[in-house]
Amino acid sequence: MKYLFIEKSDGIGVITINRPDAMNAMNLDVVSELSITVSDMIADKEIGVIIITGSGEKAFVAGADIKAMQQMNAEDALEFGKTGQEMTLVIENSPKPVIAAVNGFALGGGCEISLACHIRVASENAIFGQPEVLLGLIPGWGGTQRLPKIVGTGIANELITTGNQISAQEAHRIGLVNHVVTQTELMDTCKEIGKKILNNGPNAIAKSLNCIHESFNKSIEDGLEFEVKAFANLFSTEETKEGLSAFVEKRKANFRS
């Protein structure tokens, strides 16, 4: 991969977006590489958790590539927008938790990549924002759809229409990120979360994420029905038998050998 560093160890895959001369901004090539790499990690039996971060100490991803967009017509923009949206769906629909390790600017498309991740952890210097309106644009990789679900409509309305950039602490206050840590602690914190997840049943994790995701599309009755079917289905898996037996036998469950 030209724009990504890929590292796999102890069940955790780390994808580092590396385009240092452009603050890790995403052109079509970077978008495609990220989609392919997340898909590969989803298919990789050795990987149970995925972390996405940016290289360097200044930027997670400073957005979609503005210089590339300056050259686009409406048709190009539709393709760029759709390809980016597909990338966010690959991340969001991953049955393996995807953690955003936000190490600096997460603006526009960069913020939107983090929104598609299941868990966001920020370093103290991280800055979040949807500044598209400053460019005469709107968020095009899911910002108008996912941000209100995460922080509420009123806050999303203000962030998107003002284009305000907010600190990691403010992002934490409004529930946009789960934790704020120093930059040196960032990757270890994400890996610690990843290790805790890896102790648990992979089917149960995947079904939990799926049920949470479906809660946005269903009435409470339909969502509960979806949940209880997923719950019951687990009882025919070896994983659930192992988890329940391990408790009764007073031993640690072994889900991943």
Site for ligand CO8, rule CB under 6 A: 22-23, 25, 62-67, 77, 80-81, 84, 105, 107-109, 131-132, 135, 137, 139-141
Residue 101, C-beta contacts closer than 8 angstroms, at least 6 positions apart: 51, 52, 53, 60, 121, 123, 186, 187, 190
Cα pseudo-dihedral 203, 207, 210, 211, rounded to 10 = -170
The residue of the chain with the least Cβ separation from ligand CO8 equals: 108
Q: Which of 132, 170, 192, 242 is catalytic?
A: 132
DSSP annotation of 134: G
Residue 250, C-beta contacts closer than 8 angstroms, at least 6 positions apart: none
> Judged by CB, which is closer to ligand CO8: 28, or 36?
28
In terms of C-beta density within 10 A (0-12 exposed, 13-18 middle, 19 or more buried), how is residue 93 classed?
A: middle
Q: Minimal distance in Å, beta carbon 222 to ligand CO8? A: 31
Q: Minimal distance in Å, beta carbon 58 to ligand CO8? A: 6
112 classed as catalytic: yes
> Judged by CB, which is closer to ligand CO8: 83, or 208?
83
> Judged by CB, which is closer to ligand CO8: 65, or 227?
65
d(CA 15, CA 116): 15
Q: Minimal distance in Å, beta carbon 155 to ligand CO8? A: 19
Structure tokens at 166: 């907010």
Helix/strand/coil percent split, the chain, to 5:
55, 20, 30
Q: Minimal distance in Å, beta carbon 167 to ligand CO8? A: 13
Q: Minimal distance in Å, beta carbon 226 to ligand CO8? A: 31
158 classed as catalytic: no
Q: Which of 7, 46, 86, 112 is catalytic?
A: 112
Long-range contacts for 64-67 (Cβ within 8 Å, ≥24 apart)?
A: 64/25, 64/26, 64/27, 64/108, 64/109, 64/140, 64/141, 65/22, 65/25, 65/26, 65/27, 65/30, 66/25, 66/135, 67/22
Pairing of strands 179-181, 12-17: unpaired
> Judged by CB, which is closer to ligand CO8: 112, or 227?
112
> Judged by CB, which is closer to ligand CO8: 54, or 201?
54
Q: Minimal distance in Å, beta carbon 135 to ligand CO8? A: 6
> Judged by CB, which is closer to ligand CO8: 25, or 186?
25
Q: Which residues are catalytic?
A: 112, 132
